[in-house]
Amino acid sequence: MLKVSNRVYRSEVPSVTLPPYRATNAYWVGSRGRVVLVDPGDGQAAGLDTLRQDWEALGRPLVEAVYCTHYHLDHSGGARAAGDFFHAPFFLSREDQACLAAHGADAGGFEVLEPGPLSVGGVDVEVLSAPGHTPGQMNLWMPDEGGLLAGDNVLGNTTVVIAPPDGDLGRYLASLKTLASLALAWIGPGHGDLVRDPAAYLGEYMAHREERTRQILALLESDWTTPRTLAEQVYRGKLDEAQMSLGEWMVRGHLAWFLDRGWVAERDGRYRKVEDHDFS
Ligand SMILES: [Zn+2]
């Protein structure tokens, strides 16, 4: 377990998730013997053992609630088991509860996580709506700490997959802008290392998206092209054959955003750039 600050601790909960990560970061936020648990992992026995051990190491605080930043199972799959063990209600946004249900997963028992202020053990927390990776992702902002629990809007060692149908690149970029406007001292990502230089890190994230945007638009300049062909051009040498369908979904994320902005046209599943644009 990592001590992030006097009032925030992090457990690495073994979970099935996208490589290169093998664990979900769960965070304990609170003080004076009261905490909330954020993102309990996917619910495997090994993950629940980790949570139990770390909770004992923290001195068995009262767990007031279990929050899930978003519905993906590496974050919400363990909510019910953690809620049962700690005798705590478990929360997920309304939009992401609908996603869980749409995937045929059990969305029963979740309370609704709403944006707004809350206080836990004397820690002031603002729940922020930050969609884009999923339709209803919530992030936790602690202004006194300058700390942000970013769910999967930020990952510690890689960029984030934004792919339809869950992902919406336009909304994701708007969320990144909102997060970057906070007076951040650190970011606790959903997976990977704590981010200790948030302004530079988010700057790199936005530069990466912009670079990818330019690259795909350039490939759409001359001819009608399929998402698969684009993915093979963009991710050649970066993704192997098995991962290329994920690459194709990421390209589709860009194309949906471009279509929305009127930058590309679509005809029979092929795309082409229609007009010049700038990024203002
Ligand atoms: Zn995740």
- CB-facing half-sphere around the CA of 204: CA atoms within 13 A: 12
pLDDT of residue 231 exceeding 50, the answer is yes
Kindly give the distance from the C-alpha atom of residue 149 to the centroid of ligand 1, in angstroms, as a whole number.
12
Whether 11 and 54 have beta carbons less than 8 Å apart is answered as yes
Kindly give the distance from the C-alpha atom of residue 73 to the centroid of ligand 1, in angstroms, as a whole number.
8
150 compared with 276, residue with greater pLDDT: 150
Kindly give the distance from the C-alpha atom of residue 81 to the centroid of ligand 1, in angstroms, as a whole number.
18
Kindly give the distance from the C-alpha atom of residue 62 to the centroid of ligand 1, in angstroms, as a whole number.
26
CA distance 144 to 75: 25
Structure tokens at 154: 């930020």
Distances (CA, A) of 17 to 14, 21, 22, 190, 253: 9, 6, 6, 11, 20
Q: What mean pLDDT comes out for the span 62-78?
A: 97
Kindly give the distance from the C-alpha atom of residue 75 to the centroid of ligand 1, in angstroms, as a whole number.
6
Kindly give the distance from the C-alpha atom of residue 219 to the centroid of ligand 1, in angstroms, as a whole number.
30
Kindly give the distance from the C-alpha atom of residue 120 to the centroid of ligand 1, in angstroms, as a whole number.
24
pTM score, two decimals? 0.91
Contacts 24+ apart (CB under 8 A), 52-60: 52/85, 54/1, 54/9, 54/11, 54/28, 55/28, 55/86, 57/1, 58/1, 58/9, 58/28, 59/33
CA-CA-CA-CA torsion sign (238, 244, 249, 255): positive
CA distance 227 to 253: 10
Amino acid residing at 154: V
pLDDT at 277: 57
Ion ligand 1 — residues with CB under 5 Å?
Answer: 74, 152, 190
pLDDT at 233: 93
Kindly give the distance from the C-alpha atom of residue 152 to the centroid of ligand 1, in angstroms, as a whole number.
5
Q: What mean pLDDT comes out for the span 68-95?
A: 97
pLDDT of residue 238 exceeding 70, the answer is yes
Kindly give the distance from the C-alpha atom of residue 132 to the centroid of ligand 1, in angstroms, as a whole number.
13
pLDDT of residue 280 exceeding 80, the answer is no
pLDDT at 165: 85
| DSSP character at residue 69 | S
Q: Map out the domains of the chain with their CATH numbers.
A: 2-206 (3.60.15.10), 220-273 (no CATH)
Helix (H) or strand (E) segment spanning residue 86: helix 79-86
- pLDDT averaged over every residue in the chain: 94
Pick from 160, 91, 85: which is nearest to 120 by CA? Answer: 91
Kindly give the distance from the C-alpha atom of residue 117 to the centroid of ligand 1, in angstroms, as a whole number.
24
Amino acid residing at 90: F
Residues 6+ apart with CB under 8 A from 87: 63
Kindly give the distance from the C-alpha atom of residue 218 to the centroid of ligand 1, in angstroms, as a whole number.
31
89 upstream amide cis, omega within 30 of 0: no
Kindly give the distance from the C-alpha atom of residue 272 to the centroid of ligand 1, in angstroms, as a whole number.
32
Kindly give the distance from the C-alpha atom of residue 92 to the centroid of ligand 1, in angstroms, as a whole number.
14
pLDDT of residue 138 exceeding 90, the answer is yes
